[in-house]
Chain A
């Protein structure tokens, strides 16, 4: 942790994963900012957590699992009042031309 600084290439990679378009001129600044922040995270690597389980949440108490089924959430207005357009009960949305960039998708 903290051994490798975030490079400009990594900023581009992470931005692609996050579907964020970045101004190329801003990338060096963003890399510097991320490195500045992550430097403060290094302290965690020195903490012995070998006997600790990861905590993913703190809300288990009093929150029993619900029935495995969809809730019917009440809407104040009918769907066609806020849909861009509707046809035969379905939302009509603008066509996206192609998936021509699929080959460049990152893992």
Chain B
């Protein structure tokens, strides 16, 4: 039986008991990657791998256990991480030519924590360049493809990580979220995707895109796989002063609880007339299932939702235009060969960045420039306050979680969205959680024409525990229907 056919908890247990070998799990992950053609000639989900290092780590995990060390919750479990997380033996390119071949001199805290928990990092995954995109089509190394239908996108920007979990290479993967980059690909690929509360997880070693929004996220084949993955990386990190000093709950502790007493809000703005009827039907059917488990479902309103995309696409590019200034041929990036300073900067950057990154840097620089700052950037910050207040009011009214579709449609065909703003609208139901800083996750709730649909659970700041309680209940209530 393939290691990825076992839950993370079961595989780690077998490794801890000594009834299975971590090296076998790693070999099976590589064999599966070959079988599903995860590389550039197929799904293009993987940008780099290091078989030797992975097998060495697996051997070490087994050795540590034999020497009497307590095995971690991910003992010998193969994982993949998005290519904007710093790793020591594989390059960290962010899906960009400007970082081609770059190997970090330090390791991201989330990668260190996964490894400390026993996980074996087997590969780096494809992504939209600098995490800017909703389809993975903006990768400088070509688009990743959806394992369920290779003519369609896996979602973005963490599309490669979602594809690796969906195709059975690994059970757990890391991605990053700025506006939905874990939840939306999770929905498109039929897996679980978690964006924790802003500050819940260290960003040390995550290449910055938009610093007031960025957060590392987790993919899991199941809710429990994702819960184990998040628990391993969550918590304060002295190397990231924006990581919160808030205790980490046991996200698995309410896995089998009923939903008696839980109030679920159904925000009407997330179920507009224009919503794909099949998506609406699946989400409402899920809410019916949750009522049967004891939850109370209440219609609520988040009145500033329609302002979220314009707000996000001012704030995120503005922050990106600043963060990406470092890729200039001096601090990072292959220096263009020209003696003049300005020309060197300009040629290095234009050689290194793709069209969407260029577009967002220009947009961000424009909204921050003299004459436009007040009208665009400051205004967007104020509207962000209104959006955050919407959530606070609903949660203060006694609602524990909100339930919505994760994305307005299933995965769309590669190359079908050429208008930038049309692509931005893919994030319409996810950017709000980033703007408000609250936790949110996507859980499979069924399929339409064989394509997965995700349902989104959002909760109060640092209340991942209740969010997981409801996600476990959804998975339990829907059973196999979640994947049919």
Determine how close the nearest CB of chain B comes to the CB of A99; give it in whole angstroms: 6
B244 at the interface (CB under 8 A from A): yes
Q: Contact flags (1/0) for A39-76 with B, using CB distance below 8 Å?
A: 01101110101001111111101111110000101111
Minimal Cβ-Cβ distance residue in B for A41 = B310
Which residues of B have CB within 8 Å of A37?
313, 363, 420-421, 424
Out of A38, A49, A93, A98, name the residue touching B341 (CB < 8 Å). A98
Which of B25-33, B291-299, B378-386 is the interface stretch? B378-386
Which residues of B have CB within 8 Å of A98?
339-341
Inter-subunit contact A34/B350 (CB<8 Å):
no
Out of A20, A38, A40, A94, name the residue touching B358 (CB < 8 Å). A20
Which residues of A have CB within 8 Å of B382?
47, 49, 52-55
Determine how close the nearest CB of chain A comes to the CB of B50; give it in whole angstroms: 14
Which residues of A have CB within 8 Å of B340?
97-98, 100-101
Inter-subunit contact A59/B437 (CB<8 Å):
yes
> Does more than half of chain B's interface fall in helix, strand or loop, or is it mixed?
helix
A10 at the interface (CB under 8 A from B): yes
Inter-subunit contact A59/B242 (CB<8 Å):
yes
Could you say which of A11, A19, A49, A99 has the most chain B C-beta atoms within 10 Å of its C-beta?
A19
Which residues of A have CB within 8 Å of B284?
none
Minimal Cβ-Cβ distance residue in B for A107 = B370
Which residues of A have CB within 8 Å of B362?
11, 14-15, 18, 20, 30, 34
Inter-subunit contact A14/B366 (CB<8 Å):
yes
> Which range contains the number of A residues in contact with the other chain?
35 or more
Q: Please judge, given known A-B contacts A33-B359, A34-B366, whether A45 and B245 are in contact too, CB under 8 Å.
A: no
> Does more than half of chain A's interface fall in helix, strand or loop, or is it mixed?
loop
A21 at the interface (CB under 8 A from B): yes
Determine how close the nearest CB of chain A comes to the CB of B94; give it in whole angstroms: 17
Out of A1, A58, A81, name the residue touching B388 (CB < 8 Å). A58
Inter-subunit contact B388/A76 (CB<8 Å):
no
Which residues of A have CB within 8 Å of B468?
none
Which residues of B have CB within 8 Å of A1?
372, 375-376, 379
Determine how close the nearest CB of chain A comes to the CB of B244; give it in whole angstroms: 3
- Complex interface residues of chain B between 342 and 369 (CB less than 8 A to chain A): 342-347, 349-350, 353, 358-359, 361-363, 365-366, 369
Q: Please judge, given known A-B contacts A41-B314, A53-B385, A56-B212, whether A6 and B366 are in contact too, CB under 8 Å.
A: yes
Q: Please judge, given known A-B contacts A10-B366, A36-B421, A63-B245, whether A19 and B376 are in contact too, CB under 8 Å.
A: no
Could you say which of B239, B381, B419, B420 has the most chain A C-beta atoms within 10 Å of its C-beta?
B381
Inter-subunit contact A45/B379 (CB<8 Å):
yes
Q: Please judge, given known A-B contacts A52-B386, A63-B244, whether A71 and B307 are in contact too, CB under 8 Å.
A: no
Which residues of B have CB within 8 Å of A76?
88, 105-107
Q: List 22 A-B contacts (CB under 8 A).
A: A14-B366, A18-B321, A21-B347, A30-B362, A34-B359, A37-B424, A38-B363, A41-B310, A41-B376, A44-B380, A47-B382, A49-B379, A49-B385, A57-B437, A58-B212, A61-B244, A61-B462, A65-B241, A76-B106, A77-B105, A98-B341, A101-B343
> Which B residues lie at the A interface, using CB under 8 A?
88, 103, 105-107, 198-199, 212, 238-239, 241-246, 304, 306-307, 309-311, 313-314, 321, 325, 328, 330, 335, 339-347, 349-350, 353, 358-359, 361-363, 365-366, 369-370, 372, 375-376, 378-386, 388, 419-421, 424, 435-437, 461-462
> Which A residues lie at the B interface, using CB under 8 A?
1, 6, 10-11, 13-15, 17-22, 30, 33-34, 36-38, 40-41, 43-45, 47, 49, 52-59, 61-66, 71, 73-77, 79, 81-82, 93-94, 96-101, 104, 107
